[in-house]
Amino acid sequence: MTRLIRFNKPYDVLPQFTDRSTEGTPRKTLSDFIDCPGVYPAGRLDRDSEGLMLLTDNGRLQAWISDPRNKMAKTYWVQVEGTPDDAALEALRKGIELKDGMTRPAKARLIDEPPGLWARTPPIRVRKSVPDSWLELTITEGRNRQVRRMTAAVGHPTLRLIRSAIGAWSLDGLAQGAWADLDPPKVPGRPKPAHVPNRKAQARRAEEKAIEAGQNRKGGKSRKPRRPS
């Protein structure tokens, strides 16, 4: 039976089960929190980001969740430097020109700090001369460090990034570092290939019609040409 779980990844945890970095500098991985053999992440979440990850033991489900062509919405709580004005929010909504191209339209709005939010270890850097604020940003693609690049492009660098939802799945009620089982969805089947017309049959019919039309113009008797055996 397919298994799907959600995990609230803490800051500074690698989004994988093993760490192949330099020996002697062990870093926390998913294996420090999840004792569920056979599951693998459906998509990534940067080491310096927090929040929702989905993991499954079903390859088809994993591909469906992580494939950017499916445009599955991902919602983030983003703590940024300063307070974005209407122009900055509208730019995020319409799309931002990044080095790898224009982003898709997004949903962006100012929010209060999410209620019940856990403390981050270590805490973010704070500059007394610069206020900070929270955004809720929903995107439908997953470029490398995309949210951070988007907020920086409108003049508000990201201080803290938490993914709160992927599609219909969210962090609701899930403590930091905890995981829980979900009911796996039915993965849509592959679309049926479009009907490809029989080019040879079409050409033969067109030829027959042309011959018949020519005979009619000459007053001859209409007769279908013999098909080659």
Which residue numbers are catalytic?
A: 46
Gyration radius from the chain CA atoms: 28
Task: Give the position of tokens 């298994």.
Answer: 3
**Residue 83 three-state SS:** coil
DSSP string for residues in 153-202: HTT--EEEEEEEEETTEE-TT--TT-EEEEPPPPPPPPPPPPPPP-HHHH
Paired with 194 in beta bridges are none
Query: Is 19 exposed, middle or buried, given 0-12, 13-18 or 19+ CB atoms closer than 10 A?
Result: middle
Spacing of C-alpha 45 from chain mean position:
11
Query: What are residue 200's phi and psi, to 5 degrees?
Result: -65, -45
Segments in 19-84 forming alpha helices (H): 59-66
